[in-house]
Structure 1
Amino acid sequence: MEEIPNITDLAQVIEPHLPEGCTLDSYDSRYLTKPGDNYGSIMLAVQAKIRSSDGGVRELPLIAKLPPLTNDLYWQIFQPERTCITENAVYQYLSPELDKLQLQSGILPAQLFDGFPRYYGSRISLDPRTSKVDRNAVLLQENVTVRGFRPGNRHRPYNLAETVLILNSLAQYHALPIALRLKKPQAYEEYVRPYFKKFDMNSNIDPAEKELMNSEILKDIMSVTSDDRDVIRVKELLDIFDSFQASKDVEDGPFTTLVHGDLWINNMMLKYDEEGTPIKVKIVDFQIAQYGSLVHDIIFLLFSSVDVNVLEENYKNFLTIYYNAFIQTLRTVNVDCSNYSLDLFLEEVQQTAHIQLPHAIFMMKVILADVSTMPENFKDVDFSVLSKNTGIKTIVTKFEAILRLGKKFNIFH
């Protein structure tokens, strides 16, 4: 069994986030995910014992997220120098600023947007003066599974009820930073904008690997269509997605906000009531969050994580549901919505949606990968999984659906 990484001086990270007079007594940790070389980060489940000023000790279940300490390739691809700082900023700056904006607009404390897990501190290094992320970086957040949230199952895409809940939450997550930019530009420029620069995960991937991945995808596409134009278009879309990733920071527009960038079933936790009704969402893993059009998250979510039949029946509904929740959120914080007509929103969808189709196609290779080709945990996935999963029926069927629905909804063009 591989040794669990030790977190040096955990007290210094967590104690500022505990109630007054509380200290960290001790903690135990175990791998939340399979030990070994993790993919984008190492996740530990931490059971902290917190001593209060009256001497009582209580348990506090946490998750500690560390950069990929043991694997230089993943360090190079995931670029913790950027990803850790971005993810920390969501909890450190963005979340408190959004809370303040809502409270100052008169929203009741119990009704604030609560799509983020609670934050218990972070650091990028033991050296407080450095701005460079090193191997002592850590992010602490509540373990939301203790409160009944659970991750999705990649082989069971979201149903109608789950999708409606998530779209409402996503609309709030997108609308509030826009409201912050419009109403408190100074806070926005200082606390938010600098941390969400464009991020290109391909920049450190060997071009030959990239070429191989794309050719494996095109092999599968050829098997589901008799029209060469489809194959040519998917190849174009893969190139468009790559150049989108490598492009410069975007200018402010009505629908530009903090895009999660990786919003699929593994990065959301849902809570259900006794009847099994989905009631709350937590969004996790903000490592590649970046500034851009909110359409990226909507389309990637719908095409990567929602049941095909549900999407086919409800695509237009979903856009309207999202739009209504988005406008409602802007109104609750007193933003003038005259620049936000449904037509303008749908135009933004038409301009941007096609960029996310190749992203969804690519991710299907991971999401629907045959269990026998997968390590026990996602964090161990490497590029070989893509070629091992060429020709697998569930994936090929999903590719066929993405092409068909992309055309049907007029976003494959």
Structure 2
Amino acid sequence: MLPTWLTEEYIETHLRAYCKDGQLRVLKLWAKPATEKGGNYVGVMTRIYVDYEDGNGTVQNKSFILKQTCSKDATQWAIFQEYDVYNREMDMYEVVMPKMAELLREIGVTEKLTAEAIVVDRERTIMILEDLATLRYVNADRVKQLDMTHTKMTIDMLARFHAAAIVLNQRYPEILAKNYSSHFFSRNKNGYKEIFTGLFRAFTRYVNTTPSLKNRYSAKLEHIASNLMEYAARSVDVGEKDFQTLVHGDCWTTNVMYQYDDEGNPTSILPIDFQFSSLTSPVVDLHYLFSTSLQENVREKEIELVQYHYYALKQYLDKFSYKGVFPSLHEYQLQFERRRFMTVIIANVFQPIMVYEGTEDPEFVNLYQDTPEGIRFQDSMYACEKVQRIVANILPIMDAKGLLDPQ
């Protein structure tokens, strides 16, 4: 159902401005939900359909994506307000991404950078975006996850994004001067502390039901639980010697879309959803991507994939004639390794949600609250054989690296 303010007149006014066509006339407007329940917790996505006649008399049939905030009655509304994610994403679509695309065109990179914003309405806190589905962009399968071809294409996209943001921050520092310091693990904010703590309780509960894991890791995980957010915050901290840029912040299969050729090979890629973009080390995006979205055999090539990103980033910056300090590959690998605690949270706590195929209610509060419904949902995440295998494989690695010991 369309909001009462979203009238034919409203759309007509904005389409005239976007299309630079003062004679454009909207003929019909209707809508359908754009995501299933649990598909997007941050806001409400609606696909709106518009039939209009342009100034030349040609009738067009277009669809767009309306992004609204979640309801003020929803538990997560206050959390997302605390992190100011809605203003941040509007800034990203209206200012940052168009400016980055302009910079990339200087070095001959003309591919689309993301969906275009038709409307950014700050009074209503909404955006109307280009519908990428009409351009044959789709998400990869979040359960099957990404093979090597998809992974390298995604890493190259991130390198392009990171390089453009570095140059943007050099030339126009005022653009990224506000609202890009907060992230999931911000020390001065509390919203995500409750969420991650609840998710980690669910993870620990699963470990304690598995004798082979409980005996080795239970006590260590109890210690981590009381220090979880501080340890995670350190993984996002940047020191004087750390390389820094704007990161996507939430780069996983659902927030990346691909075009395919007739043989099913990916040919083009676009990132979407920039609510959690922040200034930190670019390797934060790599940890997030690797921990949520890669097939297990691909993730085994992690060191080589960091190297791939490093050289792609360097290549883009060289095209920009970047004169700033750039780390050696060895130092870059060390910066990646120093942030590995992210995998304790992301791989064990977020990934089970991201590959979930169960039937329990995916309401936001059920992700982390200890209600009967919440516990059923959380326990069902770890009933998945794939998730159990991931946990069994990754805990010994984390333990061997000292990530489960006091930091």
For the aligned pair, the TM-score class normalised by the smaller chain equals 0.7 to 0.9
Deviation at 1:7, TM superposition (A): 4.5
Q: Deviations over 1:114-172 (max 9, x none)?
A: 331122121121xxxxxxxxxx2211111111111111222111111111111111111
In structure 2, how many angstroms separate the alpha carbons of the residues matched to 1:224 and 1:57? Answer: 66
Match of 2:391 among 383, 396, 399: 399
The within-5 A match list for 1:273-312 is 273-312=261-300
Q: 2:180 matched to which residue of 1?
A: 196
Match of 2:346 among 356, 359, 371: 359
The amino acid that maps onto 2:51 is: K
Does the C-alpha gap of structure 1 residues 271 and 381 become closer, same or farther in structure 2, counting only changes over 3 Å? farther
- Give the conservation status (yes or no) of the 8 Å contact 1:224–1:400: no
Q: 2:246 matched to which residue of 1?
A: 258
In structure 1, how many angstroms separate the alpha carbons of the residues matched to 2:23 and 2:317? Answer: 38
Secondary structure in 2 matching 1:192: coil
- Give the conservation status (yes or no) of the 8 Å contact 2:143–2:354: yes
Determine if the alignment matches structure 1 residue 242 to structure 2 residue 229.
yes
Q: Flag structure 2 segments of 5+ consecutive residues without an equivalent.
A: 369-373
- Give the conservation status (yes or no) of the 8 Å contact 2:352–2:381: yes
Q: 2:65 matched to which residue of 1?
A: 63
Match of 1:74 among 73, 76, 97: 76
Does the C-alpha gap of structure 1 residues 17 and 330 become closer, same or farther in structure 2, counting only changes over 3 Å? same
- Give the conservation status (yes or no) of the 8 Å contact 1:373–1:389: no
Aligned residue pair count: 389
| RMSD, matched Cα | 3.2
Secondary structure in 2 matching 1:373: coil
- Give the conservation status (yes or no) of the 8 Å contact 2:51–2:60: yes
In structure 2, how many angstroms separate the alpha carbons of the residues matched to 1:193 and 1:172? Answer: 21
Q: 1:140 matched to which residue of 2?
A: 128
Match of 2:121 among 103, 120, 123: 123
- Give the conservation status (yes or no) of the 8 Å contact 1:117–1:284: yes
Q: 2:371 matched to which residue of 1?
A: none
Q: 2:202 matched to which residue of 1?
A: 216
In structure 2, how many angstroms separate the alpha carbons of the residues matched to 1:310 and 1:335? Answer: 31
In structure 2, how many angstroms separate the alpha carbons of the residues matched to 1:17 and 1:252? Answer: 42
Determine if the alignment matches structure 1 residue 93 to structure 2 residue 95.
yes
- Give the conservation status (yes or no) of the 8 Å contact 1:115–1:283: yes
In structure 2, how many angstroms separate the alpha carbons of the residues matched to 1:402 and 1:224? Answer: 16
Q: 2:335 matched to which residue of 1?
A: 348
Q: 2:55 matched to which residue of 1?
A: 53
- Give the conservation status (yes or no) of the 8 Å contact 1:154–1:265: yes
Secondary structure in 1 matching 2:279: strand
Does the C-alpha gap of structure 1 residues 96 and 226 become closer, same or farther in structure 2, counting only changes over 3 Å? closer
The amino acid that maps onto 2:44 is: I
The amino acid that maps onto 1:84 is: Y
- Give the conservation status (yes or no) of the 8 Å contact 1:237–1:357: no
Does the C-alpha gap of structure 1 residues 237 and 123 become closer, same or farther in structure 2, counting only changes over 3 Å? farther
- Give the conservation status (yes or no) of the 8 Å contact 1:37–1:68: no
In structure 1, how many angstroms separate the alpha carbons of the residues matched to 2:111 and 2:221? Answer: 37
Determine if the alignment matches structure 1 residue 332 to structure 2 residue 319.
yes
Does the C-alpha gap of structure 1 residues 11 and 311 become closer, same or farther in structure 2, counting only changes over 3 Å? same
Secondary structure in 2 matching 1:279: strand
Deviation at 1:239, TM superposition (A): 5.5
Q: Deviations over 1:191-221 (max 9, x none)?
A: 22313131448723684x7644322211223
Does the C-alpha gap of structure 1 residues 167 and 36 become closer, same or farther in structure 2, counting only changes over 3 Å? closer
The amino acid that maps onto 1:340 is: P
Match of 1:389 among 371, 381, 385: 381
Q: 2:308 matched to which residue of 1?
A: 321
Secondary structure in 1 matching 2:202: helix
Q: 1:157 matched to which residue of 2?
A: 145
Moved more, 262-271 or 194-203: 194-203
In structure 2, how many angstroms separate the alpha carbons of the residues matched to 1:337 and 1:407? Answer: 37
Q: Deviations over 1:202-249 (max 9, x none)?
A: 723684x76443222112234275475644554555555523677898
- Give the conservation status (yes or no) of the 8 Å contact 1:258–1:294: yes
Q: 1:132 matched to which residue of 2?
A: none
Does the C-alpha gap of structure 1 residues 249 and 305 become closer, same or farther in structure 2, counting only changes over 3 Å? closer
In structure 2, how many angstroms separate the alpha carbons of the residues matched to 1:150 and 1:95? Answer: 20
- Give the conservation status (yes or no) of the 8 Å contact 1:225–1:400: no
Moved more, 81-90 or 27-36: 27-36
TM-score (norm 2): 0.84
Deviation at 1:4, TM superposition (A): 4.2
- Give the conservation status (yes or no) of the 8 Å contact 1:45–1:64: yes
Does the C-alpha gap of structure 1 residues 264 and 381 become closer, same or farther in structure 2, counting only changes over 3 Å? farther
Q: Deviations over 1:337-371 (max 9, x none)?
A: 66332122112112112224312211123123342
Does the C-alpha gap of structure 1 residues 380 and 230 become closer, same or farther in structure 2, counting only changes over 3 Å? closer
In structure 2, how many angstroms separate the alpha carbons of the residues matched to 1:217 and 1:357? Answer: 10
TM-score (norm 1): 0.83
Q: 1:130 matched to which residue of 2?
A: none
In structure 2, how many angstroms separate the alpha carbons of the residues matched to 1:139 and 1:328? Answer: 34
Q: Kindly, what percent of the aligned residue pairs are identical?
A: 18
Match of 2:169 among 181, 184, 194: 181
Deviation at 1:99, TM superposition (A): 2.5
Moved more, 347-356 or 248-257: 248-257
In structure 2, how many angstroms separate the alpha carbons of the residues matched to 1:403 and 1:203? Answer: 27
In structure 1, how many angstroms separate the alpha carbons of the residues matched to 2:299 and 2:332? Answer: 19
Q: Flag structure 1 segments of 5+ consecutive residues without an equivalent.
A: 126-135
- Give the conservation status (yes or no) of the 8 Å contact 2:83–2:183: no
